[in-house]
Chains A and B, each alone.
Chain A
């Protein structure tokens, strides 16, 4: 009897063990390692186990790092605003203006087609289009709209933001569309019955009820942009920096403890941003 009692008590632990194990091995251990390494010392050839604050001092006291962080946050904010704007209207169109379910599904699948190729290919494909002698410049020159190629199109912040928007708008569309599909259509009717015009229906009913989807999409976009290094590197042609790129460069130079300290700071900032979003919007309804 005592044996079966113990077994009954152990059973729940056994049931959560697989997930706990996976999270432990693939999430907790790496992050702890990161934190530990961020306090190590290093020189040009090796890592020296130690407990020093110099890595953090370098991150937090350097004007370059501050500028890089500011730039990354600026990218994130800009990309967030643009993807939110586009994503919201695409989702709104799909959810409220497309009546037929079949058309809705077809259009939705159409949105996902770019995802059939990798990020890198989608980014690279902008190069022949936006380049100095690219399609766009050629076309504009041919039309006589400009007399010399536009330089800002490629290898610029413009190109970086364009690529981000291209890559991540769908991450905004999907959760917002999802939330909108759950809005009871009778609520729209009730609002119209109470005298609301189309704009008032949008601001008083649809936007408030889409907030969880907006929050989830925002978390996706912000986290992806904050952690990115490859888009910034490829699309800015090395002329712009991001925190991810900075960490990548430190790793290339084998400065692992410095990279780890940077990563910990970035992680903290991203978590704060996500925390702030969750504070504003309750997303539990969607989970």
Chain B
């Protein structure tokens, strides 16, 4: 079975000379929920738009289901896009919004309305068929947009920051619904987000991007347990990025695997002394921040562990972890860039 999406050495250069995407290659297996994750300006939206065909590819190829689509118009690719803030047609009611693509294909009115109603039912909105988008809540508008995209029966659904306009409660509900739909329809979703929480919750495949490049593409568990670079470790959170005790490079240690020892205790294994700078009670865990020689480090302590030996800001403490929880990091492309920037002689 061919991959639903395959990017081969895809580059996006804009007229001004700026390079948004730098020769990335990626394979998304069939029926995969894939999240493109990264900070703004990392090239994730350009990548999505190139898959959709709304942005031309400067060099490289885009394949969908094994078929070269690099130069095909959006509607001929077997993709459908759900736009950020939905882009519903304000002059059409929900039913006609959903039926739009069928109308473009010349499907007779009665037939396209029946099909559109079926898709409105799929997102549980058939009651609102005759309402205009302006008369719907944000969550309802989004479901209409989803139905409008799905009616084209795409092989791949592309979602551009679909949850960013919703309040946190709705975001959680829509997240479940997106995942359910993806599973039921058995198609691939490619979802652009800057929220690592969203990416963790939804993805089968997380693609972390930085500066127009893919720094890691793996399952959420792999990304969390073995972040490839310091950038990934920091971006997905929950990690301490520390200088390697052995000397060269940096290591990542999950904050929830770190423990605190009193300064006078005998410590085996890797450790880092510091001073408690903040204590935050978060219910099941207590977050203790330490100021150390290597910058701030965090220990997420189960509440019972914390309360057995509580610390307060200003106390001296030693951050300790086990060798097994330590994970070496490759240098980030941005770290390399920073190094050349700070040392112009090395670059010359």
Contacts and interface: CB of A to CB of B under 8 A. Distances in A.
Interface of A: 184, 186-187, 189-197, 200, 204-205, 208-209
Interface stretch (B84-92, B276-284, B320-328): B84-92
Nearest to A205: B89
Interface stretch (B62-70, B72-80, B180-188, B254-262): B72-80
B134 to A, nearest CB: 10
B194 interface: no
Given A190-B89, A205-B89, A195 B75 contact: yes
A194 B85 contact: no
B189 interface: no
13 contacts: A186-B83, A186-B85, A187-B89, A189-B87, A190-B89, A193-B52, A194-B75, A194-B101, A200-B104, A204-B89, A204-B100, A204-B103, A204-B104
* Leading 7 A-B pairs by shortest Cβ distance: A195-B75, A194-B101, A186-B87, A190-B87, A195-B104, A196-B104, A208-B91
Interface residues of B, number: 22
B314 to A, nearest CB: 53
B148 interface: yes
Given A189-B83, A192-B54, A194-B148, A209 B91 contact: yes
A110 to B, nearest CB: 25
B105 interface: yes
Given A208-B91, A209-B90, A190 B83 contact: yes
B81 interface: yes
B152 interface: yes
A230 B159 CA distance: 59
B83 A195 contact: no
A163 to B, nearest CB: 36
Contacts, number: 57
A94 B190 CA distance: 35
A184 B101 CA distance: 18
A196 B89 CA distance: 13
Nearest to B49: A189
A191 B152 CA distance: 12
Contacts of B152: 194-195
Nearest to A194: B101
A175 to B, nearest CB: 17
A194 B104 contact: yes
A191 B73 CA distance: 12
Contacts of B90: 187, 209
Given A189-B54, A194-B101, A195-B101, 4 more contacts: A184-B87, A186-B85, A192-B54, A200-B104
Contact of A192 (B74, B85, B105): B74
Contacts of B103: 204
A187 B87 CA distance: 5
Contacts of B100: 191, 194, 196, 204
Given A200-B104, A204-B100, A204-B103, A192 B75 contact: yes
Nearest to B54: A189
A192 B73 contact: yes
A160 B135 CA distance: 47
B104 A193 contact: no
A100 to B, nearest CB: 11
Nearest to A184: B87
A191 B74 CA distance: 10
A204 to B, nearest CB: 7
A195 B105 contact: yes
B53 to A, nearest CB: 8
Contacts of A190: 81, 83, 87-89, 148
A156 to B, nearest CB: 42
Contacts of B75: 192-196
Nearest to B74: A193
Contacts of A191: 89, 100, 104
A191 to B, nearest CB: 7
Contacts of B87: 184, 186-187, 189-190
A195 to B, nearest CB: 3
Contacts of A204: 89, 100, 103-104
Nearest to B154: A193
Most B CB within 10 A of own CB, among A189, A191, A194, A205:
A194
Interface string B157-174: 000000000000000000
A159 to B, nearest CB: 40
A183 to B, nearest CB: 9
A286 to B, nearest CB: 13
Contacts of A195: 74-75, 101, 104-105, 152
Contacts of A209: 90-91
Most B CB within 10 A of own CB, among A184, A186, A208, A209:
A186
